[in-house]
């Protein structure tokens, strides 16, 4: 929209540039300029008053006054008209840049909700949720949301409209290939957690998904999710900084002071 307005101002600037002394088009150009200002900036714009104050003839005249005074006044008024049109163009260009930057941020952030996909490790779940709250965002934990008579998949779909997903992989299951020996079994995250990891990768994209995994001996991390950020859940809390960094990268405003609390 702003680009069209800029084009309109460019056309009136061209008309102003082509004005010549006593060519008969001055009135038409002035009227069109005022009309565009009202249309673009509103009836109460200061630009309207500025346009009305531009003079194309001497403020005072007398009998026998040299024609050069009229010509100089016309040239001066023409320059003022062109200058104010240029200012309006810059005004719109700046507004357009601000809108584009804002849209880039909005494109990455649709709301303040972070979906927390979790297994059976209650400590990981609670620590993650409390940290999300501490940085003034809202954790979405599915079982904490009202059912309203919906199936699990319906409920999951309804609450998945988030800006980021935190996937918690904890050592909840033990598994091994049927061709292997039981003593070679490894700890794994629950199947529903892996399923939901894939869901959010498809819905949000890799840059809006972070996987936090439980550190432990013989824990198997999924190998099929290339490019996904896997961060170890450590007792020292280093995972919090990594998490906050990823949130900031997509446009969230994170208060650094809250990370130190």
pLDDT digits (tens, 9 = 90+) for 45-93: 888 888 888 887 777 777 777 777 778 888 888 888 888 888 887 777 6
Q: Which residue has the tokens 């023409």?
A: 78
Q: Are 58 and 69 in contact (CB under 8 A)?
A: yes
Work out the pLDDT band at 200, boundaries 50, 70, 90.
very high
Q: Are 114 and 140 in contact (CB under 8 A)?
A: yes
CA 131 vs. chain centroid, Å, equals 23
Q: How far, in Å, CA of 61 to CA of 58, rounded?
A: 6
Q: Nearest to residue 190, comparing CAs of 164, 213, 161, 208?
A: 213
Q: How far, in Å, CA of 258 to CA of 119, rounded?
A: 27
Q: Are 27 and 77 in contact (CB under 8 A)?
A: no
Q: What is the pLDDT of residue 1?
A: 46
Partners of residue 74 on adjacent β-strands: none
Partners of residue 166 on adjacent β-strands: 116, 210
* Count of CB atoms situated within 10 Å of the CB of 70: 16
Work out the pLDDT band at 108, boundaries 50, 70, 90.
low
Kind plus residue range of the DSSP H or E element containing 94: helix 67-108
Over range 153-182, report the average pLDDT. Answer: 88
Say which range, 80-84, 89-93, 168-172, 211-215, has the weakest mean pLDDT.
89-93
Work out the pLDDT band at 243, boundaries 50, 70, 90.
very high
Dihedrals phi, psi of 221, to nearest 5 degrees: -95, 135
Q: What is the pLDDT of residue 129?
A: 94
Examine the pLDDT at 116 and tell me if it is beyond 70.
yes
Mean of the per-residue pLDDT values for the chain? Answer: 82
β-bridge pairing 173-175 and 164-169: unpaired
Partners of residue 167 on adjacent β-strands: 117, 211
Examine the pLDDT at 105 and tell me if it is beyond 70.
no
Work out the pLDDT band at 257, boundaries 50, 70, 90.
low
Tokens representing residue 39 in the block:
């249309």
Question: What percentage of the chain carries pLDDT values higher than 70?
Answer: 88
Q: CA of 92: how far to CAs of 18, 142, 222, in Å? A: 23, 45, 50
Q: What is the pLDDT of residue 99?
A: 45
Q: How far, in Å, CA of 38 to CA of 36, rounded?
A: 5
Over range 143-161, report the average pLDDT. Answer: 86
Give the architecture (CATH level 2) of 113-260.
3-Layer(aba) Sandwich (3.40)
Work out the pLDDT band at 138, boundaries 50, 70, 90.
very high
* Count of CB atoms situated within 10 Å of the CB of 237: 11
């Amino acid at each position: 929209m702003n680009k069209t307005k800029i084009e309109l101002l460019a056309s009136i600037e061209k008309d102003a540039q082509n004005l010549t002394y006593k060519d008969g088009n001055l009135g038409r150009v002035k009227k069109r300029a005022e009309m565009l200002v009202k249309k673009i900036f509103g009836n109460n714009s200061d630009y309207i008053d500025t346009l009305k104050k531009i003079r194309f003839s001497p403020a005072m005249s007398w009998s026998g006054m040299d024609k050069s005074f009229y010509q100089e006044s016309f040239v001066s008024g023409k320059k003022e008209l062109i200058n104010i049109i240029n200012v309006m163009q810059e005004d719109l260009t700046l507004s357009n840049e601000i809108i584009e930057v804002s849209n880039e941020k909005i494109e990455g952030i649709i709301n303040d909700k972070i979906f927390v996909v979790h297994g059976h490790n209650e400590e990981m779940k609670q620590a993650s949720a409390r940290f999300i709250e501490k940085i003034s965002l809202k954790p979405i934990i599915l079982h904490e949301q009202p059912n309203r008579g919906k199936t699990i998949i319906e409920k999951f779909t309804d609450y998945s409209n988030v800006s980021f997903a935190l996937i918690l992989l904890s050592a909840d299951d033990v598994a091994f290939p049927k061709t292997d020996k039981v003593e070679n079994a490894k700890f794994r995250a629950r199947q529903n957690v892996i399923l939901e990891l894939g869901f959010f990768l498809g819905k949000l994209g890799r840059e809006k998904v972070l996987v936090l995994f439980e550190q432990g001996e013989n824990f198997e991390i999924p190998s099929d999710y290339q490019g996904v950020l896997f961060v170890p859940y450590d007792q020292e809390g280093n995972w919090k900084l990594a998490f906050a960094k990823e949130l900031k990268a997509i446009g969230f405003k994170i208060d650094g002071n809250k990370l130190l609390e």
